[in-house]
Structure 1
Amino acid sequence: MRLSATVLACLVSLGLAAPASAQSFPDRPITLVIPFAAGGSTDLVGRLIAEKMSEGLGQQVVVENKGGAGGNLGAAAVAKATPDGYTILMATVATHALNPAVYPNMPYDPIKDFAPISLLVTVPNVLVVHPSVPANNAQELIALLKANPGKYSYASSGNGSPLHLSGELFKTMAGVDLVHVPYKGAGPALVDVIGGQVPIMFDNLPSSTQHIRSGKLKGIAVTSPQRAATFPDMPALNEALPGYETYTWNALFAPAGTPPEAIKKLNEEANKAVNDPKVKEKLAEFSATVVASTPEELGKFAAAELAKWAPIVKQSGAKAD
């Protein structure tokens, strides 16, 4: 009888083991890989979300900036990481929609190698210039560039990046000649534009917001279809160039094969984080629009973005070095 009771106790113990393991996630820190240099829009959003997720998860979400190859290095590192939920990626339109069309040899498959978690926010871009540039709106800037072909340059976060393509689309639609100066990330590019080494840049609105407000940069136009709520007096670029629109987005992905219970927990806490009143207020200051999707919705969105941007990249002729 004692043996039967012992066996029964073991069976009960084994039966409880699996759910307990699932419920214990996470039991150690999580690494959030940001595939760009510190200081850019993705870094700002990522650190804000990581801090709030840490509170909800009861474990630290540690940010690791792993820039290079337009986001490919960081994204590839996550794609090849152990699929246990402890390494996740702050992805963008670059890592999951543009790079596959820009880079001839991708180190990962943007669909097959990742498990979607949540589409967090969408973010408009902004056309900024150094205060020394004698133009205060898009019409004046276009006239200046047409009068001085090849004289002015613009900075971007790298060849084939969303910011590079924003510039190339502008050149094509405005019919102007601008020299492209690629950097290894939006942060370093922005530093040189503020310093006056390069006069023009398309940036993500979050990372340029404080510099526009302080007067270190002049905001010429936002790239969203409508004016940004944070800068109601700044025109949308499509007011001068009808049909112009570019943007970026931030989403969380884990390596393919990550357990569903880990994905569920990460999705819940990520969506709680972006909907937290204080976080939402901070994101609104950057004109970031909160989405907070399901994993399934993000999967469909990523596939649609990939299909949308491929012909645009091809038309622009943008290629990575």
Structure 2
Amino acid sequence: MAFPRQWFAVPLGAAALAALCASAPVGAQDAWPARPIQMVVASSAGSGTDALARLLAQRLSVSLKQPVVVDNRPGGSGVVGTSFVVKAPPDGYTLLYTTASNMVIAPAVLKTIPYDPKKSLVPIAETAEGGVVLLVSNDLPVHSLPELVRFVKANPDKYGYATWSTGSSGQLTMEWLKKQTGMQTDHVPYRTSNQLLTDLASGVVKIGWTDPGAPIPFLRSGKIRAIAITGNARAPQLPEVKTMGEQGYKFDAVGWFGVFAPAGTNPAILKRLGDEINKVQKAPDLAATMKTMNFGPPPVTTPEQFREMVGRDLQLWSKIAADARIQID
């Protein structure tokens, strides 16, 4: 699909963005949108979150007939970008594109956070989701989640498990699994999923969790195996990998992506945004791109359903973090 040149979402500096917004007339709220929309991404440029945000921004620019400008504000487990949107005027011209890691996991593990994740933002629409994947090195003699549980219980504290950071969904999921099964295994935090996967493939660590897109090249090389995935659906690129629930350990929470607005935003604007996002999400090329990244389309289709899911996930992750005594200053 071709887009008019002036509608493409491109990265702009703060000054350029302010000038762009100031140059457009500000109309009444019933004429929204009357000027460019700033979509803040609480992740770095080039990340998977950034890629999904730009795909959505390009299509919304066409649908809304106003530029939707991506503004990357990474840092602090998503707190930097989220705080910026929380403080923005609730006029529909500043939105947040973010993840479950930022919205429901960070608040569960951070000691302090400068906003209320349940009250400061309004969920508009979920855009994609995918579970985290449980992996083992090829020389570990297990091929399923029940086999891993039995193996680790027979070898207590001998095998650690790796994730991409302390307080990650991978760590919290494994701590939940340890509580259910009585496994004894310590957490080995890495800085990035790629470093983790490299060590997993070479046998430095034997067990690890990653997001659904990262391990595909390593899995194809045959150096690691995927044995389970969280959530209720198998990953598009890993249809042979059973969910945890299919293997007797039901864990519904997944990694999701979504759009939020500051609390107090006009309900009519929220409805228009939700409708437009759900409409562009149905584009075949967008679905195909998400599939190559190993993310599935969202089953949640209304703001109310998305709001309920955010609330459930925040409660779940907070309980797991408290039970495991995981807290980050």
* TM-score greater than 0.5 by the shorter chain: yes
**Structure 2 equivalent of residue 233 of structure 1:** 240
**Structure 2 equivalent of residue 112 of structure 1:** 119
1:195 is matched with which residue: 195, 198, 201? 198
**Structure 2 equivalent of residue 305 of structure 1:** 313
**Structure 1 equivalent of residue 38 of structure 2:** 30
**Structure 1 equivalent of residue 11 of structure 2:** none
2:182 is matched with which residue: 175, 178, 200? 175
Structure 1 residue 109 displacement after superposition:
0.5
Q: Distance in 1 between matches of 2:61 and 2:224?
A: 34
Structure 1 residue 114 displacement after superposition:
0.9
**Structure 1 equivalent of residue 262 of structure 2:** 255
Q: Distance in 1 between matches of 2:319 and 2:158?
A: 29
Q: Distance in 2 between matches of 1:312 and 1:148?
A: 24
Structure with the larger RCO, 1 or 2 (CA within 8 Å, 6+ apart): 1
Identity of aligned residues (%): 32
SS at structure 2 position matched to 1:275 = coil
Structure 1 residue 272 displacement after superposition:
2.1
SS at structure 1 position matched to 2:118 = coil
Q: Distance in 1 between matches of 2:308 and 2:246?
A: 31
1:272 is matched with which residue: 276, 279, 285? 279
Structure 1 residue 253 displacement after superposition:
0.5
Structure 1 residue 294 displacement after superposition:
3.2
Q: Distance in 2 between matches of 1:246 and 1:260?
A: 28
SS at structure 1 position matched to 2:41 = strand
Amino acid at match of 2:74: K
Correspondence list, 1:130-149, <5 A: 130-131=137-138, 133-149=140-156
**1:77 to 2:80 alignment:** no
Q: 1:22 to 1:213 in 2, by over 3 A?
A: farther
Q: 1:263 to 1:80 in 2, by over 3 A?
A: same
Q: 1:281 to 1:128 in 2, by over 3 A?
A: same
Q: Distance in 1 between matches of 2:139 and 2:63?
A: 46
Q: Distance in 2 between matches of 1:43 and 1:152?
A: 34
Say which is worse superposed, 173-182 or 28-37, in terms of deviation: 28-37
Contact 2:175 2:320 in 1 (8 A): no
Q: 1:137 to 1:49 in 2, by over 3 A?
A: same
Q: Count the aligned residue pairs.
A: 299
Q: 1:116 to 1:140 in 2, by over 3 A?
A: closer
Amino acid at match of 1:119: E
* Larger Cα-atom Rg: 1
Q: Distance in 2 between matches of 1:259 and 1:60?
A: 18
Residue deviations 1:16-44, cap 9 Å, x none? x986664352522523313478545x445
SS at structure 1 position matched to 2:131 = strand
Amino acid at match of 1:293: T
- Which ranges of structure 2 fall in alignment gaps of 5 or more residues? 1-24
CA RMSD in angstroms comes to 3.3
**1:156 to 2:163 alignment:** yes
Residue deviations 1:197-222, cap 9 Å, x none? 65432223244345434546421212
**Structure 2 equivalent of residue 3 of structure 1:** none
Q: Distance in 2 between matches of 1:175 and 1:220?
A: 19
**Structure 2 equivalent of residue 6 of structure 1:** none
Say which is worse superposed, 243-252 or 133-142, in terms of deviation: 133-142
Structure 1 residue 59 displacement after superposition:
0.9
Residue deviations 1:140-174, cap 9 Å, x none? 43354345443433333433332221121233334
Contact 1:33 1:78 in 2 (8 A): no
**Structure 2 equivalent of residue 66 of structure 1:** 74
**Structure 1 equivalent of residue 20 of structure 2:** none
